[in-house]
Structure formats: C-alpha cells, structure tokens
Structure 1
Amino acid sequence: MLQSSVAAITILASVLAIAFLVAPEPQMVASAVKQAREQFSLSATAVSVNESVGAVLFAHERGASFGPSRHQSARPMMVSDALPITRAAASAMLEGEGPTHSGMQRVYISAGDGGFHEAQVRVDEVEGEGTSLVVLDATGQRFMSWFVPSGSCCQAGEGPPWTFWKYRGSDQVAGRWADVIEARDEEKHRVARWWVDPGSGLVLWSERYGADGAPTIMSGFKDIQIGKAHLAQDHVQLVSMNPVSSTGSKGWCTGLPQCPASLAGLPLVTHASSSSVRGERSMRLFYSDGFRSVSVVWSEGQLPGAKPIQDHAAGFPDVAVWQVGDGIVSVASNGSPEMLQEASSQLPGEQLWDPSVLERIGRGLSRLAGIN
C-alpha cells in the first residue's frame, strides 16, 4: 500500500512538473495597432456604419495600393446660409434605410502627409437583403469584395453633443439634387457634413473634419442608379457579429471580467467571440450612436516589452492598446481623443503577464488535456 501511494505521488509530481514546463506563453503580438484598426473597420462595416469607408480602411490595412497621395479640398457647395434643425430631424434624415440602388463611390483617406489616397468602391444594395461592396485598387482591379447583410446599426440615444444645421437651397451630387446637413461641436466648429437625396433618403456624400476644419475622410457617389442593384451569387461575408439582444445568453462575454452595456456614453451595438485553431480566445465589442464609434477587442497575447501603446493618425481611428494579464485590450475610436481616453478608463487597467506557479500548472494541464 505504501509503495502504491509513493508511486502515485511520484506520478502526480511528474505530471505537475511537466505541466509547469509545457505551460503555453501568450503569443507575442507585434502589430497590435494595425489589428485594432482592422477590427474597427470590420465591425463598423458589419453594422453598416459608413460601410464603404470601413471597407477601404480595412483594405488599406491589408495592403491595398490606392496610388500616390494628392491634395483634395472639401466639397464646394451651391447653397446659402444654414438654419438650425433639431437632432430628431437630423437623425430622421440620416438614419433611414435607403432603397435599392447601385453606383460607384469615391473614398478619400488620409495619407498622413496632408494629402489623400483615393479609392473606388462599387456599391450594390438591395433593400431588405444587404449590400455588396467591391473595393478597387489603383489599377481599377478588384482588391476585395464584401457582403453586408441588412440591419439597423444603433439604438436611439442622446448622441454626440453636436448641433445640427440645414443649408438653404440644394446642391448636386452624382447628378441628383441633395439637401446639405451640417453638424457642429460645442465650440461651433463643423465636424461633419452630409449630402442627402430628399427623394430616396440616401446619403450621397459625407465628410468628416478635424479640429482645424480640414477634411479627414470624404466619401460618396460619383454615379448612382436608384431602384437597380445586383448582388453577386458568390459574395462573402467577412465577419459575422451578434446582435446586442443575445447578450443575455450564458458565457457570451469572454476574457474580460465584464462586457459593459455602454462605454464612453455609447451603447453596445454588436459583439462576437471566437477561438483560433490554436485555441487562443478573443472578444469583440462595438459601441456606436451612428456618428461616433468605439471598438474594443480582448485577445490572448503579449505586447513586446509589455508597454502600452497609443497611436493617432489623421483620418484613421485613434488606438490605445495595453496588457491585461494573459491578454491584450485594444480600443479604437473615430471620436475625439477624449472619447478614447474615457472608453479606456472604463475597461480593466494595465496588468503585466506574471502568472503564479499554480496558474502555470493550470495552463500546462489544459494543454496536456488538449484544451488549448
């Protein structure tokens, strides 16, 4: 009996020692900022928040060439003075689902040198079904295609602290007359403009502006047909996200201690969790009011040097990344730097990866058992 007990203890000690030795280390992630911007673009496009812009930003991160940068001014207008309108009136004009249509869009993204890269996106939207997006490179060849199912983005809320204005008269975009709506911040600086077709409700052109009043992103149709569109039979849905209504299911939140229902004043719109072929888990959360958005990603991994990262680039989402135990938290936002800071402060703080002996043994046992 004594010999059996000693043998069992010896075997157990050997297993625990092996488990300690084979405990997996979180994978090093050298391109955390790039991945954060990719995830922001994927999520924004998946829920139809400026999907053409999101598709182009994603293609840019994946290496698409859009040719040399060049100067591009804000769109000139043939309208007179602007009159204030209510937030409800602006929302009604900007958030409606448009009819079936097709056309080619231009998307201008910042090149970081004061100029812009111009991309073209073929858009085909069938009302009630979805939108097909084809991003073309500088040679006019298809770089990637994407299908986005129909769906409403964002629940009603207070929205940003902006005032809204409608210009007198009409302007022309792609041969159609459009009303021009402008948003201004609390200091009365313009932050965005939209050219809206009053007949169909489609946003024909839109621009976002930086603190200096210069455009940071511009996009819209150069030609369009209302009532006609074609969805390719071989279309691909690059990412699938879950509706916020599914957050009541058990275990929906992975990695983070909790997944907030709102962040920096924005409601949770959609989410998704996944595991890679290597067993590495991740959690994606996307918050938006339809104007400003925040993407949060938790994924197992380590930052080189474990140093927090912040990255700001005109025309691209601002990014903050930091280590939280065996995972990395990344936050990307197209809102203000203050919104990024507020969102980051409402998530778990920095915590270096320094597992105890018991934690290492636990990870090793999971690996031996084939769990990761």
Structure 2
Amino acid sequence: MSARSCADLAELRSAFVDDALADADRERLLAHLVDCTACRREVAELRHVRSLLTGSTDPGTAPVDLSHRLVSIAGEDATEPLWTRPFRRTPSGGELPSQRHLLHTRLVAGVLGCGLTVLAVLGMGWAAAPSTDTAQAVDPTRQAVTEFTTVVSAFPLDGRVSAALQGRPSTPGSEAGTPTGVDLTAKPLSEAKAAKLLVRAGQAGDELTYTGTQQVRVTRDDQQIASSVQVSSHGGAGTRLAPADAGHQPAGYTTYVEADSSTRMADADLVDLLTDRYALRGWVAQSFGGRDAVVIEATEPTAHPADGALDGVVARWWLDARTGLLLGQETYDGRGNLDVSSRLTDLRFDAVSDEDAVGAGAAARTTATLTLSRAAELRRDGWICAERLAGLSLMRLRTDQVDDPELVHLVYSDGLTTLSVVEQHGRLSGAPTGSTRNETLGAWVTSGMPTTASWVSGDVVMTVVTDGSRETLAAAVAALPHDEPEQPTTMERVRAGWSRIFGR
C-alpha cells in the first residue's frame, strides 16, 4: 500500500478502534489491513493507548515507537505542560512533554507556591508589627523635676526645699551668705540621740498643725537661687505648699501640693541611710529664729573637725526644742562654704484654715510604688535599675502602672543628697525646656536647683535629677548607658507582628 492511501485512512483507523465506523467504511478498512502491516501495527497501538486512557487494562509500559510518535505530534509545544492548554488542539508535528519535564514543572510550581506562602506570612507579620517610631517624650526634664519633687517633698528632713526651688532659674551673684554658728557651751548629744531626734523631726513635720513661710537660698558655682513658699501642715492630712509671691512666678514654675501623709518616706529608713554614710553629733540649748532649738550636724566619716568648725561638715539641722519640728537646715560643700540654707519663719501652730490649703501643681505620672525586689524584674524587661548610683543607694522604685510600665522612677539617696533617674520610652525631638547641650556628659543639662541631665539611650529617654553637686550629677550620667537607637531585624519585626496578632 502507498503512504498516501494509509494517510487517507488515518481517521478511519481511529474510529475503528472506537467502534464508531459505518459498515461500508469498516469493510473498506478491514480490506486494507489485510495487506498493510504498518496500519495493523498502528491500530494495535491505538487500542493500547485507548486502554491506558480508559483504565480498562493494566497500563504496562507504552511501546517506545508510540512514545516517539506522540511526542512528534506535540511539536514545538512539547515543553508546555498539558494542563495549561486543556482545550487546545495539538498541532501536528509537535512533541508531547516527557515524564521528566512534567516532574520538573510540578516541582517548580510547588516551590513557587511555597515561596508565595512564605512571603504572605512574612508580609502579614511585618504589617502587624508595632511601629519602630517611638512616641515623642513630653518635655522629659520638666516631668522628671515633678517626679523628683513629689518624692523629695515627702522626705522627713526638710523636703520642702526642692519644692520651693522647682522651676527657679539661677542668677549671677556673689553673696554666698553666712553659716549659722553653734553655741559650744551647750551640752553635746550622742550620735544615737542625734539620730533619734532626726527621726522625731520627720514625724513632727507630718503630725503637727501649723503654718509658716519657708525661705530658701542656694549658692552654687557663683550662681544664686532664692525662693519663698507658704507652708500649711494639716496635722497628718498632708502638707501643702503655695508660692509666697504667686504673682511673680517665672515662666514654667510649678507649685507642688504634697499628697497625704501615707506617701511619706519612712523617717527611720532615711536616717539609717544618713548614719550609714555620715557621722552625727549635736548640742542642746541652741537658739534659731528666736526659738529654743537643738542643733545636729553630719560630718564626713574620715573628717574630725573641731567643735564648731565647718571643715568636713556637710549639713546642720535646727529642731524646735518643744515640738521637735525642723526649723532650719544648712548644707555645706565640705570646705566650710554655705551651699543651701533653708529656714521656717512666721511660724504659727494650730492656725491652719481651709484658705491655707491653696495651691495646684503638675501631677506625677508615677503613682505606683513597687518594692525594691521588683527591680530585678524591671531589669529583665530592659529597664536600667542599678542598686547603687553615684555612691547613693536605691531606696524607692515608682512606676506609672504596676504591669508593663511606660515610665520608671528610681530614687537614690544617702539621707542628705537625693538623686532621681526617670526613664520613659520615647525620643527627643530637640533640646528640653531650659537646657543646654553638654558634650562632655553627652546630655542636655539644666543649671539651678535641682540640676538635671537628659539624653536618649536606645528607645528610652533618660533624665537624672539631683539636689546634690554637679559632681554627683556627672557621676550618675557617666554610669548610665548611652546606647544608639536600635532598629529591629526583619525577622524580629515579623515575630513581633505575629505575637501581636495572637495577642501574646
């Protein structure tokens, strides 16, 4: 048979295998198959393919010549997966895809699918992550001074000094003031008796009902600050302060109103810190502001000044002989120079009226007082909570909320000098109010009383506040971290996002 006649019978052969021929065409094809071996072989191959497609028999292995023939039919589209063109007719002369190519295509499709899934998971975590832009801190210096004053005003030993000076600018001056002398003919006090009298003075300031005017003067680094506040103590219900010259307050001045007596520092604890750091001595039968008084002084433990001398003396307190109330205080620079003087004048007992309870001020954000044992927990959460700083002991720990705080206030003291470290999440957009840049400290610093230093470490705004010397401030700033802001890695941000999605 000629190749032409075999080609003309191609459709008949396919229909013959499918039992779809009319009788006349069937007889014609059978007559041809008797004499044509090639067409008989093709019919057999077509039947085998039909059985594979219908699953009616064991598929076995397709003949090699049939595989080549089917591939040749696919032509140029042999590399394109069949599932991408389910309804297209395959052009003649092409090749069908090989088994290896199909496996390769499916593998690539699987990898692409997994990749898209991973990208979707990463994208959702990234989008849900908290913003890396931390909130701007709201005037950290002013807030830190409020936190400091709130705590120090509750100290038993004349905490009103810092409240009186809050927000006061310093001015150049040369009048350092003269220290108040001591009558050395009086009977001396033992150190134990002096300590007991200081504890009693703190209690008397809280328990007594009285009014008066607190006059404070600070001389430091050839700068002076002077202020007066009206004091109204309500006999266990708290002590309130109001500016004596309310109509002449500088911009930014804040009047502090002390909270109730339950917030006061433990008198004995502070005096214990004082006696641990300094040596105490005192004398009875003194006079201060026209009232009979007792004087107690603190000296450096290595100094042994002669009676009445000021070399090595860091502070003196005058206590009312009758009530034990603290009448005045002076602190010195250790070389006999007066640093801070404070005295209570116009004193009247049992004369407080409702009109005396005047004053309003900025509120402290830290309203929760934690036990010092919580410091370790805060350290694990990334807060800086040193047990000692600039030679002072950690004595109080306050936060804005008990769980997951945003502001932490650490209070350090030795019973005489107090230092606060206020930490809050955020960043600085510029210089805090009233501050100048000190490159040596790497911080924005304010002068006056109290002195402050603010800077950013990581994602935390750090502010140090102290009523101590500039050396105390510098030592504290140097001991605290000054880390560069940290940017989370991609995976850290994704994990944070999914933690946020699942509420963890």
Normalising by the residue count of structure 2, what TM-score does the alignment of the two structures yield?
Answer: 0.57
Structure-2 change in CA distance of 1:332 and 1:147 (3 Å):
closer
**2:411 counterpart letter in structure 1:** F
Structure-2 change in CA distance of 1:139 and 1:86 (3 Å):
same
Alignment of 1:201-350 (within 5 A): 201-230=324-353, 232=357, 238-239=363-364, 241-243=367-369, 245=371, 247=373, 256-257=382-383, 259-263=385-389, 266-274=392-400, 281-302=406-427, 308-309=442-443, 311=445, 313=447, 316-335=449-468, 339-340=472-473, 349-350=481-482
Q: Which has the higher helix share?
A: 2
CA-to-aligned-CA distance 1:13-71 (integer Å, 9 cap, x gap): 43345457x7232356696555544432232124555332121232437xxxx999783
> What's 2:192 paired with?
88
Q: Which has the higher strand share?
A: 1
Aligned-partner Cα distance in 1 for 2:380–2:161: 29
Among the aligned pairs, what percent are the same residue?
Answer: 21
Instruction: Tell me how far 1:204 sits from its aligned partner.
Output: 0.5
CA-to-aligned-CA distance 1:250-296 (integer Å, 9 cap, x gap): 96678545634555564433322227xxx981111112343222212
CA-to-aligned-CA distance 1:85-115 (integer Å, 9 cap, x gap): 4443222222221141322323334476735
1:163 equivalent in alignment to 2:303: no
**1:147 counterpart letter in structure 2:** E
Structure-2 change in CA distance of 1:160 and 1:301 (3 Å):
farther
Aligned-partner Cα distance in 2 for 1:341–1:128: 38
Instruction: Tell me how far 1:206 sits from its aligned partner.
Output: 0.9
Aligned residues of 1:23 and 1:360 also touching (Cα < 8 A): no
**2:196 counterpart letter in structure 1:** A
1:177 equivalent in alignment to 2:292: yes
The two structures, once aligned, show a CA RMSD in angstroms of: 4.5
Normalising by the residue count of structure 1, what TM-score does the alignment of the two structures yield?
Answer: 0.74
Gaps in structure 2 of 5+ consecutive residues:
1-108, 304-310, 431-436
Instruction: Tell me how far 1:241 sits from its aligned partner.
Output: 4.4
Structure-2 change in CA distance of 1:328 and 1:233 (3 Å):
closer
Instruction: Tell me how far 1:202 sits from its aligned partner.
Output: 0.7
> What's 1:14 paired with?
123
Aligned-partner Cα distance in 2 for 1:38–1:125: 20
Structure-2 change in CA distance of 1:363 and 1:229 (3 Å):
farther
Size of the aligned set, in residue pairs, is 360
Aligned-partner Cα distance in 1 for 2:237–2:316: 28
1:131 equivalent in alignment to 2:234: no
Instruction: Tell me how far 1:130 sits from its aligned partner.
Output: 1.6
Range with greater deviation from structure 2 (301-310 or 128-137): 301-310
Structure-2 change in CA distance of 1:244 and 1:133 (3 Å):
same
1:44 equivalent in alignment to 2:148: no
Gaps in structure 1 of 5+ consecutive residues:
none
Aligned-partner Cα distance in 1 for 2:171–2:472: 32
Structure-2 change in CA distance of 1:353 and 1:241 (3 Å):
same
If you compute each CA radius of gyration, which structure gives the higher value, 1 or 2? Answer: 2
**2:352 counterpart letter in structure 1:** A
Alignment of 1:53-132 (within 5 A): 53-60=161-168, 71=175, 73-77=177-181, 79-80=183-184, 85-96=189-200, 97-98=203-204, 99-110=207-218, 114=222, 116-132=224-240
Aligned residues of 1:153 and 1:269 also touching (Cα < 8 A): no
Aligned residues of 2:162 and 2:449 also touching (Cα < 8 A): no
Structure-2 change in CA distance of 1:311 and 1:234 (3 Å):
closer
SS at match of 2:150: helix
Q: Which residue, 338, 345, 355 being the options, matches 2:487? A: 355
> What's 1:149 paired with?
260
